[in-house]
Amino acid sequence: MGVVTILFAALGFMSPASRGALVTGMLCSYLLLGAAAGYTAVRLWNTIHQGAAPSTNWKSIAWKSSSVFPGIGFAVFTSLNCLLWYNGSTGAVPFLLFLILILLWFFVSVPLTLIGGLIASRVKPIEYPVKTNKISRHVPAAQCSPWLFVGVAGTLPFGTLFIELFFIMSSIWLGRVYYVFGFLLLVLGLLVAVCAEVSVVLTYMGLCVEDWRWWWRAFFASGSVAAYVLGYAVYYLVFDLHSLSGLVSAALYVGYSLLMAGAVMLATGAVGLAASFWFVYYLFSTVKLE
């Protein structure tokens, strides 16, 4: 969704001065890309289980893909919007528009995700290049916890985006117009590259010490940038957002900052996991078995 929206904005199809166009573009791309989300989730699930799990479980995977993150987002959005309604704020989303968003979620996003999952369930999963042992191999004791490196790894992706993050936060909370979408697209490309490299390096370090449990570390190695984004949101609140006052404004800032950090974690973590998966696949596909 982010890539599609930023790309269209950089090409001039969306006016930076019209925030409604950007929000509409984000919403439409998210709804339509539900098919890609369902296909990717079910294909990955089939690849992990290699057909050993029941074939009907793809419905559960696709349903979770279409409901977990949007459900959390709607829960946060509903809570904050009810708070605005209670205080009589003009910034509250009208009930009719709120109902339309829910209908779009259930009647557009969810069906497209299920369709994508159905297609993926009929596609042959990616086969592993080598056979795996039925008994898990013992992992040697590490001198240092690998999760320490995972936490530190997030500093590198954060270093590529923290300057742009300031302008994005200013555009959201101070009403400033953001124009340099071309540069933002470049920063996004650098962020994806750095996230992939960080996850691949940590995955390789783990394999070198015979630690085969790489998948969650690969996800959080790049996804840990979300913790630094959340920390920057706190820094921005304390030192730059002097106009914020009142409990309602603070609740809005905290709620949307948490939601933004969660979205960043899922996006960057998915990049790291995909990069590490293909690295491990390529690494073992080059092994010559006599």
Tell me: do 73 and 163 sit in the same domain. no
Through-space distance between the first and last CA atoms of the chain, rounded to whole angstroms: 46
Last residue of a domain, one of 92, 126, 160: 126
pLDDT of residue 276: 96
- 90: three-class secondary structure by DSSP: coil
Segment 55-102, tens digit of pLDDT = 668 899 999 999 999 999 999 999 998 888 888 777 788 889 889 999
From the number of C-beta atoms within 10 Å of its C-beta (0-12, 13-18, 19+), residue 84 rates as: middle
pLDDT of residue 288: 66
Do residues 156 and 194 touch, judged by C-beta distance below 8 A? yes
Q: Is residue 131 part of a domain?
A: no
Compute, in degrees rounded to 10, the torsion defined by CA atoms 275, 65, 62, 274: 0
| 38 Cα distance to chain centroid | 15
pLDDT of residue 126: 87
Tell me: do 53 and 177 sit in the same domain. no
Tell me: do 283 and 178 sit in the same domain. yes
Last residue of a domain, one of 126, 161, 185: 126
**Residue ranges of the chain whose pLDDT lies below 50:** 290
Q: Is residue 240 part of a domain?
A: yes
Tell me: do 9 and 118 sit in the same domain. yes
Segment 235-266, tens digit of pLDDT = 998 888 877 777 888 888 999 999 999 999 99
Tell me: do 100 and 180 sit in the same domain. no
Tell me: do 99 and 208 sit in the same domain. no
Last residue of a domain, one of 126, 155, 181: 126
- Count how many domains the chain has: 2
Q: Is residue 133 part of a domain?
A: no
- 248: three-class secondary structure by DSSP: helix
Domain span holding position 73 = 1-126
Q: Is residue 139 part of a domain?
A: no
Tell me: do 4 and 91 sit in the same domain. yes
Tell me: do 253 and 172 sit in the same domain. yes
- 176: three-class secondary structure by DSSP: coil
